[in-house]
Structure 1
Amino acid sequence: MQRVLKRLGMDSKMALGYLGVILFMMGDGLEQGWLSSYLTDNGLSIQQAALLFSVYGVAVAVASWFSGVLAEILGTKKAMILGITLFLIGTIAFLTIGLPSMNLWIVIPTYSLRGLGYPLFAYSFLVWLTYYTPGNKLGTAVGWFWFSFAAGLNVLGAYYSSFMLPVLGEIHTLWSAVIFTGIGALITIITNKNDSSSRKTFETRQEMVKYLLKGITIAFEKPKIGLGGIVRTINTTGAYGFVVFMPAYMMEVGFTRTEWLQIYGALWTSNIFFNLVFGIVGDKLGWRNTVMWFGGVGCAIFTAAFYYVPAFLGTNYIFITITACCFGACLAAYAPLSALIPSLAGNNKGAAMSVLNLGAGLSTFLGPAIVGAFIGGVGTLGIIWIYTILYLLSAFLMKFIRLPKKEGENPSADFTDLKDTVGSSN
């Protein structure tokens, strides 16, 4: 077994951690593909649903920003315990107080409390991973992380919901999230017995506060890291916006809710496998070029296709599923950012990860916010083109994000300079 895991780029400790992430994110994301339509069917407008997801995104962004530096201040194990605690409190409040009332001003804070939990859990594990993994294997390791993250959040959760909603109903399906997140958190936290390599010590409280703020100030001290945060924000902006308006659009052109959930699941099934592919490709061909061409340009092409394929071909399940798979694959091409950006930060990898995590969190706000702000004026097609332009912008920004190169070094081998910066911390 150890030999198999080694060939896959991991050891038994990492493998158990990835399993825990899969189960936790499955519980967190099982409602993504259908909660918006459930809310609009039960009294909320699409703008109100967009507002809910936008505020939830703010909560995710805040927790995402804190996750990197908190993992280094508290230790990754304590940060993950804090994450699962907040998630469970938020879930219970959302299901017992928020949804039964269907009052927007109760639903928003309870659902947002739930959103504080998963970034602290998942991204703290990612910080541990950047310290634990040898530098020349880091692209593959973060590829496995995003494989696990997306497999749980967007694939298994979506397919689980498509089968269990007719059996359990919406509320009981949401309650089952507690089981998956609890088991996943337990596995990962027990696995992470020693997180001392990623924990920093501070002599005074002022030093701790200063390092906490490092998760923002480093973006200005090292502008390439700041640009990386912008690119990471754009990465999943379209994906998180899709869950607000795409279910209604797909059902408008003739697909059923079950078919949409399966299409959505296919998108993220493709994504999880290509997270591994582009993690390896990034290590071989260069992290920057992988993100620029396969990520930015690829996502722009298939975001537009997501509208035009059903617009011209109607309810052609095969073609829209292929389009969804291609879009999911291109989303995965951003995975090498999680190796590239920390490598620019020297001994402040946790702070650099906080910038990336903030970008990931901001995308959960920006995606739905764009829908809420513009869909009334520009419609579905206009929203699609806003996302398309953003993806092209991310490709352009990647031109300015690269590691310093040694004289005579192959420009595509982005990982070589990482051996000194990451390898020294293990």
Structure 2
Amino acid sequence: MQKKQAHWFGLPLNLLWGYIAIAVFMSGDGFEMAFLSKHITDMGFSPAESALVFTVYGLAAAVAAWSSGVVAEIITPQKAMRIGFILWLVMHTLFMLFGLGMKNYPLMLLFYGIRGLAYPLFIYSFVMLVVQTVPKQQLSSAMGWFWAMYSIGIGCIGSYLPSFTIPLFGETGTLWFAIAWVGVGGMMALTLLRNVGTPSEKANLTPKEKLTELSRAVTILFTNPHIFMSCLIRIINTISLFGFAVIMPMLFVGRLGFSMSEWLQIWAVFFFVTIFTNIMWGILGEKIGWLRQVRWFGCIGCAISSLAFYYLPMHFGHNVGMALVPAVMLGITVAAFVPMTAVFPVLEPKHKGAAISIYNLSAGLSNFVAPAIASMVLPFFDIVGVVWVYTALYLVAAVLTLLVKVDQPGHSKVPVATQHKIESEPY
């Protein structure tokens, strides 16, 4: 049985260096986000060829995210993080030397695509370590800190530091500089998390049993309806985040007269707010109740924020101050879904790795579903139609939270209808 651990505002102190390692690692991983696509086209490749590089990368990242929970559980999170770290360094170096360095498009696809497997394996294996180490009554706040560190890394340092390094070292130099950040973050994790946590009993399974456990990352969706509904809720969680990044520049820049810089500043404020609200909602979820918070502040809150993101700028026009209001609102409400990370493993206490894998799959699918909805709805109902579809989906998610039954420590205990059946199954 897990004992209550020392923490600081919900941050588990025994995992402190792991959280810092995530921020440092993701800073280096995020360096290229702002300019790599343009860098590839500047080398003479077409926009379509550049887009394909990122499509292959995204597909690999989705596969790695899906499997990382189970992989971390059956080989230990520390070993999985080590594999992800080494894979990143090797593939990034090969990508720089033989892909970009030789302007060899097939090798760019190959090495950058394989590198897409690395960061999900590193960061989501740490999520598995958090799940194994932190008592479930503290899991919501612990995951709030994880997402805050992720945002600091890829959303803040990873986005802003290249604006200073590119004038000094150039784009190629900045891409090489990323290795230093990933190297520091990876070494911190490898050395300072070495003796943290107790390996899952699944680390001692035979290869055949480990393969069976890996398959649960698929089958669990069909054997546990609460996991399936939670998966839908998590997909809906970030549809506005990924969807608005596609459609709102068309509105703000294309129709309302905002400059691209103004729009990027508005969007940056949204990400900045999530650093603090991820921590806040992680802590509050333990007091309010995981699903109660997700329902009222996440689902209903995001429905209201999504409408505000469209109608406030439409009403006030080119007014940056008023445009920041819905950005802050969305930054507050989208983070209220943080407790969903705690819900998944609690719904499947004997198969936590598979549950976390489904959570990761849901996050990846959200990145795909949001722009897909936009592409289907835009030709018929314009931007306002997309906003209303997103709003309706948030309301659907609110209803789903009434159907998911989870036993949260410190709150009314609700038996999960199918959980006893799944728990009785042999490993």
Query: Structure 2-normalised TM-score?
Result: 0.82
Give the Cα–Cα distance (whole angstroms) in 2 for the partners of residues 8 and 405 of structure 1: 19
- Unaligned 5+ segments in structure 2 are 1-5, 416-427
Give 1:44 deviation, angstroms: 5.3
1:300 to 269, 290, 303: 303
What CA distance in whole angstroms lies between the structure 2 residues aligned with 1:331 and 1:242?
13
Which residue among 342, 346, 363 is the counterpart of 1:360? 363
- Shift in alpha-carbon separation, 1:40–1:391, aligned structure 2, 3 A: farther
Counterpart position of 2:236: 234
Q: Cα distance, 1:324 vs. partner?
A: 1.5
What amino acid does structure 2 have at the position aligned with 1:355? I
Alpha-carbon shift at residue 213 of structure 1 (Å): 0.7
Whole-Å separation in 1 of the counterparts to 2:189 and 2:147: 15
Shift of 1:63: 0.7
Aligned partners of 1:142 and 1:338 also within 8 Å? yes
Is contact 1:51-1:368 (8 Å) kept? no
Could you report, residue by residue, the CA deviation over 1:81-100 in whole angstroms, capped at 9, with x for unpaired residues? 12123333443455556668
Q: Secondary structure at the match of 1:321?
A: helix
Q: Which residue, 203, 208, 215 being the options, matches 1:213?
A: 215
Checking the alignment, whether the CA contact within 8 Å between 2:81 and 2:125 is kept in structure 1 is yes
Paired AA for residue 84 in structure 2: G
Correspondence for 1:418: none
Deviations 1:197-239 (A, max 9, x none): 3362345322111001112212222111121122222222332
Change (3 A) 1:89 1:383: farther
Partner of 1:424: none
Does the Cα contact within 8 Å between 1:263 and 1:321 map onto a contact in 2? yes
Q: Which residue of the partner structure matches residue 330 of structure 1?
A: 333
Q: 1:37 to 1:319 in 2, by over 3 A?
A: farther
Cα displacement string for residues 304-361 of structure 1 (whole angstroms, at most 9, x for unaligned residues): 3333333343332222223212212212111101112211112211111111011112
Deviations 1:271-302 (A, max 9, x none): 11111111111100100011112112222222
3-state SS in 2 of match to 1:78: helix
- Does structure 1 retain, via aligned residues, the 8 Å contact 2:28–2:178? yes
Q: Unmatched 5+ residue regions in structure 1?
A: 415-426
CA contact (8 A) 2:144 2:278 kept: yes
**Is 1:160 paired with 2:161?**
yes
Partner residue, 1:62: 63
CA–CA separation in structure 2 for the residues paired with 1:37 and 1:314: 30
User: What residue in structure 1 maps to residue 131 of structure 2?
Assistant: 130
TM-score by length of 1: 0.82
CA shift at 1:397, angstroms? 1.7
Change (3 A) 1:55 1:388: farther
* 404, 408, 422: which one aligns with 1:401: 404
Moved more, 179-188 or 272-281: 179-188
**What secondary structure, in the 3-state scheme, does the structure 2 residue paired with 1:193 have?**
coil
2:28, 2:182 within 8 Å by CA — same for their partners in 1? Answer: yes
Question: Which residue pairs with 2:262 in the alignment?
Answer: 259
In terms of mean alpha carbon deviation, does 371-380 or 77-86 score higher? 371-380
Question: Residue 347 of structure 1 aligns to a residue in which SS?
Answer: coil
Match of 1:150 in 2: 151
Q: 1:297 to 1:34 in 2, by over 3 A?
A: farther
Equivalence map 1:165-204=2 (5 Å): 170-194=171-195, 195-198=197-200, 200-204=202-206
Match of 2:142 in 1: 141
Count of residues paired in the alignment? 407
- Evaluate the alpha carbon distance shift between residue 128 and residue 51 of structure 1 in structure 2; reply closer, same or farther with a 3 A threshold: same
Partner Cα separation in structure 2 for residue 358 and residue 92 of structure 1: 28
The residue type paired with residue 151 of structure 2 is A
Q: CA contact under 8 A between 2:289 and 2:408: conserved in structure 1? A: no
Contact 1:32 1:243 in 2 (8 A): no
Q: Deviations 1:235-289 (Å, cap 9, x if unpaired)?
A: 2233233444545654434444443333222111111111111111110010001
Q: Comparing both chains, which one has the higher relative contact order based on Cα–Cα distances under 8 Å and sequence gaps of 6 or more?
A: 1
Q: Which amino acid aligns with 2:343?
A: L
2:280 corresponds to 1:311: no
